[in-house]
Amino acid sequence: MVRLPGFTDWERLQVDYELMGLSPDLHPFALLRHHLPDVVPSHALANVPEGQRITTAGLVVCRQRPGTANGIVFMLLEDEFGVINVVVYKDLFEAEREVIRLQPLVKIRGQVQRHGPNINLRAEHVEPLLVDTHLLAPEAHNFR
């Protein structure tokens, strides 16, 4: 009998997403977080002052461009801790249309805005978050 090597956590995560569209065990950012030292996680936004510029990242779970919003796009990003509301104004959307519409993982720099209990990030820069799977070495990422 030939013994095959087990999946790495990243490979298992990819298979989960391919088969189910989600992973019941891991969030991609649980594996990526330590490779993103400059990225503010969702749970830390509560402590960021109004108007401060930050960089965050997440899995895009929703994109909305209502006809009544004058070209504004609303994005909802998810990381391993929660969600981040992002507001993308028309000029940035036009400049980064492909990234905003098609990329599943994004990194966004912007300004924190507070409206009562709601915290939004007004996007100033959007880029794809490209994953170098070589950085996700099996020995470094086995959370079992």
| 88 contacts 73 by C-beta, under 8 angstroms | yes
Residue 143, in any domain of the structure: no
Residue 92 lies inside a defined structural domain of this protein: yes
Dihedral sign for Cα 117, 71, 60, 129, please: negative
| pLDDT level of residue 136 (50, 70, 90 thresholds) | low
Report the distance separating Cα 127 and Cα 132, nearest Å: 15
Any domain includes 106: yes
- The CATH number covering residue 102 comes to 2.40.50.140
pLDDT at 103 over 90: yes
Q: Which two tokens stand for residue 143?
A: 């959370």
Q: What angle do CA 125, 78, 139 make, to 5 degrees?
A: 100
Identify the domain containing residue 85 by its residue range.
Answer: 38-131
CA distance 13 to 17: 6
Decide if 61 contacts 78 (C-beta within 8 A). Answer: yes
According to the model, what pLDDT value does residue 86 have?
98
Average pLDDT of the residues in 115-139: 82
Number of domains in the chain: 1
Has residue 45 been placed in a domain? yes
Element (H, E) at 125: strand 118-128
